Every structure is written in structure tokens, then in C-alpha cells.
Amino acid sequence: MTVIVVSNRVARAKSDEPVAGGLAAALIPMVQNSGAIWVGSSGQTCDNIQSKDCFTEIEALGTGALATVDMPTKHYRGYYEGFANSALWPALHSRPDLIQVGSEDYASYREINAFMARALLRFSDPDAVYWVQDYHFLALGAEMRRLQISRPIGFFLHTPWADRRTMTAVPQHADLVQAMLAYDLIGFQTDEDRQNFEDYLQCELGLSTYDGAVTSSRGLTHLATFPIGIDVDEFSDRATKASTRTEVARLRGSLQGAKLVLGVDRLDYSKGLANRMRAFDRMLELEPQLKRGVSLLQVAVPTRGNIRAYRDLKDELASLVGEINGRHGEVDWIPIRYLNKSFSQLTLAGFYRAAHVGLVTPLQDGMNLVAKEYVAAQNPFDPGVLVLSEFAGAAKQLGAALLVNPHDIEGMARQIAAALAMGLEERRERWHAMVAKLRCSSIQDWFADFLRVLSETRRAPARLATARAAAAPVLLELAGRSAQRH
């Protein structure tokens, strides 16, 4: 079986270079070790490009390979900055107020999906299995079927899937979801995301789910939950090695005995950065004795700077940090160290290990691998404390963290203070519980489980017949209602 993994961008595997995003960090080791071919954009665009000529580079990555493609200049911006990140991203993260979309952007989104489908013909193989990643390619499966690609095609959504009413704020929602049903398997991070999708199918399209599958005009689509994980041992080893790196040693030395609270995020409105800083500010007001004894290091990696919502957020955070530091800071100490830059995975692992508190408080997140990486990076004999948003997918597995409501500034402030004051025995107990959860749901398990289920969707004729038989009365009833209306 040849596995073809498809995403908007691919990433290289150099641990001493920055890696943008949890998807890239998760897929690199899997492609290296599985022999998969990872296909994505090169980051470059080209005029008048033909799909068959679009591959700029195919290079080895362990036992697998990376294949990058140039995208059509005419449509890439409308696809990426337009529909994907100004319509889908805010909707999926429950921010319908930030949705900005036009018909041209949606047309470009569909054009890029169709372009990638044609590019994938290069890898058509009797043994091929296709695994499409994330919201950039919701319609790719439908475009592949249009080209008569009949091999199994799976899709995994790394973001949340919002509630039905939020998703209907995207004008083209019905067309998109109907296109998604061309996939044989759709995977979600949490049961809640999957249930939201099932609710959408029922209420908006009149389609019911039976035994984990839905029958539509496109055939049978299986729906399942696959929480993405990490390689705990690999990340722990990385953190241990990184503790001697220059940047990590400089960080430790600069603290002068103070405790470190750490946040690492893309600069995105879904991450709850402003509320996090307000909570740290409030903690210093509630616990003034902590001043000079603790600092917050917030790494906020710039992203999507051409989109207004991101520029506005950057300005807001810079202003907020200035206000808080001006209020509490002294000539030789500031409460918040705020960095708009990226670091390598190796350096970040060292930062995680140095931090007494990991602060992961998104307003909404599909999983959030930073939370898992922070836990894996800790010293087992003297672990730090994870403060985690209850609205991150990781909270479903890491219940031993200090869970917070990211909208509750006072509550977050008190939990950060509690984390700083927590004794060694309780810290160890919570850490052992979380590590045990991570080991039961590793990145290797995620990769293997999804591909196993995808393969089984084509080898289960009995389940197919059962699901169709169960769906038939409902479909007939809907057809009858439609006939009565007309």
C-alpha cells in the first residue's frame, strides 16, 4: 500500500529549524518512518501553470518522500488568505463575526482543490491510499472522484468542527459539506467535533448517521474520532538534550531564580492570548508577593499577516503587553517577555522543560499539541504544571491538568497562582496521570489507526449493505416530503 498524504504545505525535518504548526510537526516523523509520500504547496506560485508540470521538487524524507507543487498565482491568494483563512478558519473556531468571504474567493478555493486533484494523478497507483489533511482541502475528495480516482480517500480535520449554526454562517456551507461526503472516511479530533458534524448533516442535509457512517448520493462515508498524539519518548529525549543549548541556558540564567510561566502559540485570535495576559496581570494584582518571583514568556509566532484580523490582534497584544509591563514592571524586572518570532522544535523543547508552568489557554482548538509536548518535556522528578483551556481538544485526555475557562480572567489568574504554589507530590501525581494518557494515544497510534480504518471501509461489504438498508427508509421519507412540497 502506497500512502499519499496531502496538505496545504509540507515541512522539512530539521530539528534546529523552526517548524510552523502542529500538523507539520506531527506529520514529519510519520512520513519519515512509514514510506508515505507527502504532497503540498512549495510556497511559490506560477502563472499559466499546468497540473502535470507543477511539481518543483520530489525529495527523500527517511523512507518516505516530499513532493512540492507550485500553485496557480491567479487563485492562490483567494484560496488561502481568502476562503480558507477568512471564512473557514473563523467559522471552525466559532468566530462567525470575523467571516469575510466573496464568491470569487470561494471559486478560487474550488479551483485550487481541483488543481491539486489533477496534480495527484501523478501518484495514481493500484495500491494507493490517499489521506487529505485539514480545512484547506474540504472539496479535494470530490474533485478526485470527478477524475475517476477510485482508490480509498480519507480526510482528517485538525481544527474543531463548530456547531451547526456557526457553520451555516459560511454562505457556501451546504455545497462544501456535500463535497466532503465524497471521502470514504472523515476523521475528527474529538467526539464533540464529530457530533457537531453529524448534527449538521441531520439538520441541514437531512442525512442520518448509522453505525458510524452516513449514506448520501456520493455513497457511504464513515465518521470517526482520532485524537492526534505525539511521540512521548522522542520529545522527552529532545527536551533533555536541549537543556544545554545556548538559548535555553540564557533563558534559565536570566530568570535569576524566578519561576517561568510559558506560552507558545501562533499569533492567532483562536489562542486566547489577550485573555491570557489579562489573567497574568490579574494574578499579580491578587498575589502581589509574586512580583519579581515569576515571569511570563509568551512566544507568539507571526502568521497570516496579510489578513486584517491578524494585524489588529498583533497591535492589540503589543499595546496590552506595554500596559501590563508599565503597571507592574521595575527597572530590573518585567512581568511579560513577549517575542514575535519562531524557534526550532529543539529549542522549544528546552523552553518547555525550563518552565514551571505551561500556559495553554485557547478559546477554541482542535487538539493543541503544545499542551502534550509540554507534558512530555518535563523532568519526571520535578515536573511543571500544565494550565489548560477546557476548550482545547487536549483537555479531553489531559484531565489531570489545571483546566480553566479561557473567558474567565479571574479564574485563570487563580489557577496560575495555584500552579506556581503546587507542591512536588501533587505535581508528580498529575504529571504521571497525563503521561500515561499520552502513551495510550501516540502519534504512531493515530497514523496507524486512521489508515487501518480507511482500508477497512473498502473491505466491509456487509456493513455497507446494512448501513444502506438502515438509511433507505429515511431517504424514501425525505424523497416523499420533497415530492409533496412540489
Give catalytic residue positions. 158, 365
C-alpha cell at 389: 483551556
Contact 65, 38 (CB under 8 A): yes
Determine the residue type at 95. R
Contact 186, 197 (CB under 8 A): yes
**Cβ burial, residue 154 (10 Å; 0-12/13-18/19+):** buried
Distance (Å, whole) CA 325 – CA 279: 13
Q: Which of 285, 268, 326 is CA-nearest to residue 89?
A: 268
The answer to whether the Cα torsion of 375, 380, 384, 388 is positive or negative is positive
Q: C-alpha 367: how far from its chain's center? A: 6
Distance (Å, whole) CA 206 – CA 429: 47
What is the CB neighbour count within 10 angstroms for residue 217?
A: 9
C-alpha cell at 325: 509591563
Distance (Å, whole) CA 404 – CA 247: 30
C-alpha cell at 43: 510556497
**Strand order across the 259-266 sheet:** 336-339, 294-301, 259-266, 357-360, 385-389, 402-404
**What is the H or E stretch that residue 177 is in?**
helix 173-180
**What is the H or E stretch that residue 146 is in?**
helix 140-146
What is the CB neighbour count within 10 angstroms for residue 463?
A: 17
**What is the H or E stretch that residue 58 is in?**
strand 55-61
C-alpha cell at 239: 527536551
Q: Which of 28, 29, 37, 41 is CA-nearest to residue 5?
A: 37
Whole-Å CA distances, 192 to 162, 360, 455, 484: 9, 20, 24, 35
Contact 72, 112 (CB under 8 A): yes
Return the DSSP state at 403.
Answer: E
